[in-house]
Amino acid sequence: MPQTVEVDEVIPSARRLIKSLRDVGYNFTTAVADIVDNSIEAEATQIDIRVEFDGEDSWVRIADNGRGMTEEELLEAMRYGSEREYSEENLGKFGLGLKTASLSQCRRLTVASRNNSSSMNLVARCWDLEHIERENRWEVIRLNGTELEPGITEPLRGNAGTVVLWERLDRILGYKHPYGEPARKRLLTMCRELEEHLGMVFHRFLMGVEGSRVRMTVNDNEVQPWDPFALNEPETRVLPRTEIQLEYAGIRGTILFEPYILPHKDDFTSPDAFKQASGPNNWNQQQGFYIYRAGRLVQSGGWCRLRTLDEHTKLARIALRFSPALDEAFKINVAKMHVQLPGQIKEEVKKLLEPTLKIAQETYRRTSSTPRPGQVYRPLQNAGSLPREIRAVNSGRSTPGMPIKTTSSVIPVPQQVEVQTGGSRTSGDRYWTLDELNEILISLAEPEEFPIIEGVFERLRSSLNTSRDER
């Protein structure tokens, strides 16, 4: 028979713990982004953020047109450590985000919701730190419709959806001089930073890549998506995607490794386009990994301690995509601000990085003879007789029928290997540069073979240069 265990329930001190949870690592932009996660999970297509400056009475409101909540669902959502079930693709994780993100910035959090546009039943609850500190109990305040300000009820008039209201913004403004001009200017600056942050973190949702397109506004300014990979630029290079398999704590998952090379400064369509692609933190800081969890960006740039930032590789940006099922492997934190690259895949990722970084350096130095945009590396159908797709390597930069003149050595190739160059065929031998042969082999190779091919061609170039010098 099972042994009876005597237990005592120990409930944490409300005033102490709730105060400690205000410092889990959020700032203003990441806190708002966590609330936006909930709106997207609720299938909202419109999310409006309003920041109103009025000294001590300043407030922040996030309103959406999602499916809303019933009274029972709202009460559970207000619980610290909500017991709701999260699917693999949910943006939420710990059941803490709504509360910890909000109260990291304010002292009073009100949530109102309506789950049916034809229903008059609007439900609302409030976490008030003054009440918690006074009572030292985990109590949320019930609010009925007559107690709600128009600022809360207006977005829900005749609509399903949810409104999150932050008041007493002690962490945003500070209460020493909340009415001063510096406080107002600081809040305006934070709003501009918020627009940039939301445009970066949720760019796939704003562009409609993750399903229905989501529209966001900050004080009526529409948030514009910022695509880290500048895919609208004709000169951006899309390199082959690789699937990395990972098993961690009994859970198996796939991580997608998607490398991109952004254009040289002179190859952007305009100076403004080049500046826009630099991102919120500018070029050098924005190179590296862009790690996505369920389509939502959680890391923008940096090499996860695999290498240091380098001016010569600043055009390299790599998307790493993983499912929330692998959260433990990536050590995702509550604020969804920091991740760690799993140790089991570091060597594989470093190996995959090598050819990407080489192309990025060549592009930066303008020494690249790699295929131009639109000429993605891909396996050829018949390695014995190279198909005409290889003519893209020449990019029209040679005189028809003549070898391409570059700094690399030119070697003849027997006639039986036929390649169309410059739109016409000629008799006799065909001439390719070493760089062209290098790229042909790269197009036939698997990603793990890239470093071997590059090493062989480096030795061949060195040997030819030595022979030339001896002559």
CATH of the domain at 265: 3.30.230
Tell me: do 151 and 271 sit in the same domain: no
Tell me: do 243 and 214 sit in the same domain: no
Q: Is residue 6 part of a domain?
A: no
Tell me: do 124 and 212 sit in the same domain: yes
* Cβ-contact 51, 191 below 8 angstroms: yes
Of 122, 342, 321, 360, the residue nearest 241 (C-alpha): 321
- Residues pairing with 31 in the sheet: none
User: Which H or E run contains 27?
Assistant: none
Length of the chain, in residues: 471
Q: Which domain does 461 fall in, by range?
A: 388-470
- Give pLDDT, residue 309: 93
CA distance 183 to 134: 29
Tell me: do 59 and 167 sit in the same domain: yes
Tens-level pLDDT at each residue, the chain (471 residues): 667 889 998 888 999 999 999 988 899 999 999 999 999 999 999 999 999 999 889 999 999 999 999 999 999 999 988 765 545 555 555 568 899 999 999 999 999 999 986 666 899 999 999 999 999 999 999 998 777 888 899 999 888 999 999 999 998 887 566 777 888 888 999 999 999 999 999 999 999 998 889 999 999 999 999 999 999 999 999 999 999 999 998 899 999 999 999 999 999 999 999 999 999 889 999 999 999 999 999 999 999 999 999 999 999 999 999 988 898 999 887 666 678 899 999 999 999 999 999 999 999 998 644 444 444 443 333 334 443 333 333 333 333 333 333 333 343 433 333 333 344 434 444 456 666 677 677 767 766 676 677 778 777 777 776 655 555
- Give pLDDT, residue 364: 93
Tell me: do 281 and 211 sit in the same domain: no
Tell me: do 296 and 352 sit in the same domain: yes
- Give pLDDT, residue 135: 95
* Cβ-contact 244, 255 below 8 angstroms: yes
Tell me: do 204 and 71 sit in the same domain: yes
- Give pLDDT, residue 150: 87
Task: Provide the number of structural domains found in the chain.
Answer: 3
- Give pLDDT, residue 208: 94
* Cβ-contact 77, 242 below 8 angstroms: no
Q: Looking at residue 109, which CATH number applies to its domain?
A: 3.30.565.10
Tell me: do 153 and 263 sit in the same domain: no
SS3 for 238? strand
Tokens coding 9: 């329930």
**Which residues, including other chains, have CB under 8 Å from residue 6's CB and lie 6 or more apart?**
none
Tokens coding 418: 């036929």
Q: Is residue 411 part of a domain?
A: yes
- Residues pairing with 114 in the sheet: 161
Alpha helices in 144-303 (DSSP H): 150-153, 170-173, 181-201, 203-206, 271-277, 282-286
- Give pLDDT, residue 85: 57
- In single-letter form, the type of residue at position 151 comes to G
